Amino acid sequence: MPADRLLPTPEAEDLLARVREIARDELKPRAAAAEEAEQFPRDAFTLLGKSGLLGLPYAERWGGADLPYEVYLQALEEVAAAWMTVGVGLSVHTMSCYALAHYGTDEQREQWLPDMLGGSLLGAYALSETQAGSDAAALSTRARRDGDDYVVNGTKAWITHAGVADFYTTMVRTSDDGGHGISCLLVDSSTPGLSAAARERKMGLTGSPTAQMIFDHARVPVSRRIGDEGSGLKIALSSLSSGRLGIAACAVGLAQAALDEAVAYAKGRTQFGKPIIEFQGLEFLLADMAATVESARATYLDAARRRDRGLDFQRQSSIAKLVATDGAMKVTTDAVQVLGGAGYTRDFPVERYMREAKVPQIFEGTNQIQRMVIARALKAA
């Protein structure tokens, strides 16, 4: 059952129809088997790039579609509803392009952005470290200037697309001046001294590789620095404000998929002579699930529309991420309950949805951090 959307233009409606077709025909049929085998679908991102879906919110000059964020996020939601690994990957790639698109020079954009938005290059975002997760300013990966290069040493942790990405938007320490000593480098995957550790063994999103990235005297040209030295933390936090909306949209897509599966099962499963959807206990549960999905969608769209108008949206972004990801965890858990014993088996996708719903509450800033951001904004008002 497709989500009922209010889109701003007929062109946006055509785009969403095309995204739904790709999601239905090319992504969803492959998802279960690939997640079971822990296979990363690199070709899916090539397809999205050729379909014009990797650069939706970016300028046409560089190969994007220059669409409003509210349209991009709804397209992202459709992808995530079909295959969460691809949805999260699309969100991460879009965030990985953000630094170059918004803070790079025209020369840098001309050189790299068209291939990044066209599907030839897949991105990863390297901010977190083992001892610098929620406290991003504490990162210790060091970049020492040596002529026209930076020599980078350190380890990044929890990197989506580690080992399969073509570039890593990487935050490094270039001075000891706390948060003002962090800079942003666009690191090519072929850089000597850069390697990926073994993949993490995860509860869900098993098709999406997550691992540490190790920098061992990796030489990165100064020409690949994005922005000024010391501006990296500002770039990182700005990227995350938009990236959190991407994760919110993915979470809503996952919850919508779980709701659709639960409704279809409840209509077809008969007990005591009638479909179980006729029992009030399940009717009310499904109604609450639907209310959660639509409320979360409205919340991320409100934040996106503020962003599109050039208004401050940081607080609304954190609210959207918090509401959508907590909601997805509840909806997917309830979907398993609707299916009963069948929901606990791998014969139906809801157990996978439930496992996949956990990590959006953690990455792009844990939901505890989102509450801190929201509370800080309230105190400053």
d(CA 2, CA 9): 18
Mind giving me the DSSP string for 26-79? IIHHHHHHHHHHT---HHHHHHHHHTT-SSTTS-GGGT-----HHHHHHHHHHH
Give the tokens for residue 154. 């350190």
Is 209 within 8 Å of 161 (Cβ atoms)?
Answer: yes
d(CA 23, CA 353): 16
**Quick one: residue 16, left, alpha or beta (phi over 0 = left, psi -120 to 50 = alpha)?**
alpha
Pairing, β 270-271 against β 182-188:
unpaired
Residue type, 297: R
**Quick one: residue 193, left, alpha or beta (phi over 0 = left, psi -120 to 50 = alpha)?**
left
> Annotated catalytic residue: which of 26, 129, 351, 364?
364
Specify burial of residue 24 (Cβ count, 10 A radius: 0-12, 13-18, 19+).
middle
> Nearest CA to 67 among 245, 304, 312, 315?
304
Residue 70 appears among annotated catalytic residues = no
Measured CA distances, 299 to 37, 158, 295 (Å): 35, 27, 6
d(CA 373, CA 321): 11
d(CA 289, CA 357): 14
Kindly list the catalytic residues: 364
